[in-house]
Amino acid sequence: MRRQRPNSLSSSSPSPSLKRSLSFEIPSPTHAGTGDGSWYKAKLKNEGAASSSIGDNSNNNRGTSKYVLKPDDPVQKTKRIKDEGTERRRRRASSGNVKRELKHARTWHPDAQKSTMQSFHEHRRLMGQKTHEALSKADKKPLGELLNSQATKSKTYTHEQGLTWAQAEGIIEGYKMINVNPLYFSSTDRPPQESCIENLSRGCANIDVELDGPSFIMEGLYLGDRHDASSRKKMVDLGITHVVNATRDIANFFHGKVVGGRRIKYMNVNVNDADGVDIMRYFCETNRFLLKCVRNGGKALIHCRAGVCRSTTILCAFLMYFETWRLVDTLNYLKRCRFIIHPNNDFREQLVLYELIMFGKSSVKPYLEHPDWGTYKLRALLNRSGVESYRPPRRSSCVVM
């Protein structure tokens, strides 16, 4: 138990002196566990003082374990510090003078005589030498020029790299190098023009709100909703062989089943129809899937919940990639085929970025005053210097067929 310090400033005790006010309590050797006595006793022994002087000091009215705190002599203190430093240096020299290293786990290096860090650095040096030799064999250019050429190649971007929404924004906003295929850059292809009869009939007819099936887009491509994807009769009648399911909560109704003598292949694009969703990261995968279907003579159904936003965005990106159509023309053509389509603002922005990286020009920039394209983000993106606008060649208002 810790002893309580006596109240030396009480009214019953005499007026305290300076030495008494500096006194403090030191535990006995038994409690402290320091051996022969307190630190003060050991100090007196080292200085050659008699141990009896400690007993004389203890006869004051302070108790048996109270001693006066005497300030250290500056000369003795300096000498003690020097002695301690000399002792530490002597111990360090006697330990073999080994350089301290970072602690690493045992490695596989066969040379046990070398330390871990030496083995690590030697391994890195050997690997760098092998890389240099391999690059020199592959190309006779100096290593500096080769690395510079690789760095230059890595700074160019294409639409086939599977870029995300954030990466595409960084490319345009950072004025980075885009490698555009000349076929896309000089393309003037447009969707088939609507005839005058079709235009008049579509404008005068009463549009039925309920669609009775998937909308025909072009040979081998259909755009629909969840009801079309779950109807076995429609799948058989249309000869669907590939399905792109652009939802998170609708099942693949005929996955692994044979429908109409054909086994249907599915591809899932797990995205929600909400703001801030990155659908651009799936464009490369969906383009490859649909391209394989069209080239093999199959028929694909692209659907989401209502066939309005997600499936339209995926199909629009594929038509731009496969038919080299511009974005505005593609969306107008899809709206002609299925009048309810309407991608949200974030999906439209990603399509604009995809067109910029694919074609090097923007067909949306001349239409920034339109309500569908005049958002703040698109104006800030397309009105920066270096973004070229594309205006398609004018053609007649309608075609007589």
Asked whether residue 244 falls in the same domain as residue 357, the answer is yes
Per-residue confidence (pLDDT) for residue 226, from 0 to 100: 94
What value does the mean pLDDT take over residues 372-400?
A: 83
Domain residues for the domain of 297 are: 183-389
Asked whether residue 245 falls in the same domain as residue 199, the answer is yes
Instruction: Decide if 382 contacts 364 (C-beta within 8 A).
Output: yes
Helix axes 345-359, 310-323, angle to 10 degrees: 10
Catalytic choice (204, 284, 304, 316): 304
Asked whether residue 309 falls in the same domain as residue 385, the answer is yes
Per-residue confidence (pLDDT) for residue 137, from 0 to 100: 62
Q: What is the spatial distance between Cα 322 and Cα 189, in angstroms, rounded to a whole number?
A: 11
Residue 147 belongs to a domain = yes
Select the more confidently predicted residue: 56 or 333: 333
Asked whether residue 191 falls in the same domain as residue 292, the answer is yes
Residue 383 belongs to a domain = yes
Residue 166 belongs to a domain = no
**What's the gap between Cα 77 and its chain centre?**
58
Q: What is the spatial distance between Cα 391 and Cα 151, in angstroms, rounded to a whole number?
A: 35
Residue 216 belongs to a domain = yes
Asked whether residue 209 falls in the same domain as residue 259, the answer is yes
Per-residue confidence (pLDDT) for residue 43, from 0 to 100: 62
**SS3 label, residue 165:** helix
Pairing type for strands 300-303 and 221-224 reads parallel
Q: What is the spatial distance between Cα 354 and Cα 366, in angstroms, rounded to a whole number?
A: 17
Asked whether residue 208 falls in the same domain as residue 311, the answer is yes
Asked whether residue 260 falls in the same domain as residue 382, the answer is yes
Q: What is the spatial distance between Cα 396 and Cα 203, in angstroms, rounded to a whole number?
A: 18
- For 351-380, how does the pLDDT look when each residue is reduced to its tens digit (9 = 90+)? 999 999 999 999 999 999 988 898 899 999
Q: Specify the residue for token string 């690493």.
A: 104
- For 41-62, how does the pLDDT look when each residue is reduced to its tens digit (9 = 90+)? 556 666 664 444 444 444 444 4
Task: Please give the mean pLDDT across all residues of the chain.
Answer: 76
Task: Please tell me the pTM assigned to this model.
Answer: 0.61
Asked whether residue 81 falls in the same domain as residue 219, the answer is no
- Residue in 121, 139, 141 with CA at minimum distance from that of residue 129: 121
- Contacts of 323-327 with C-beta under 8 Å, sequence gap 24+, read 323/189, 323/191, 324/183, 324/184, 324/187, 324/189, 325/189, 325/190, 325/191, 326/187, 326/190, 326/355, 326/359, 326/363, 326/390, 326/392, 327/351, 327/352, 327/354, 327/355, 327/362, 327/363, 327/364
Select the more confidently predicted residue: 103 or 315: 315
Q: Is the dihedral of CA 71, 75, 78, 79 positive or negative?
A: negative
Residue 160 belongs to a domain = no
Give the count of domains, the chain.
3
Asked whether residue 255 falls in the same domain as residue 296, the answer is yes
Residue 162 belongs to a domain = no
Least confident of 24-38, 132-146, 216-230, 295-309: 24-38
Pairing type for strands 221-224 and 215-218 reads antiparallel
Asked whether residue 145 falls in the same domain as residue 274, the answer is no
Asked whether residue 66 falls in the same domain as residue 134, the answer is no
Q: What is the spatial distance between Cα 263 and Cα 241, in angstroms, rounded to a whole number?
A: 7
Q: Is the pLDDT of residue 25 over 80?
A: no
Residue 226 belongs to a domain = yes
Asked whether residue 272 falls in the same domain as residue 204, the answer is yes
Percent share of the chain, pLDDT over 90? 41
Which domain CATH number covers 253?
A: 3.90.190.10
Residue 111 belongs to a domain = no
User: Is 337 marked active-site?
Assistant: no
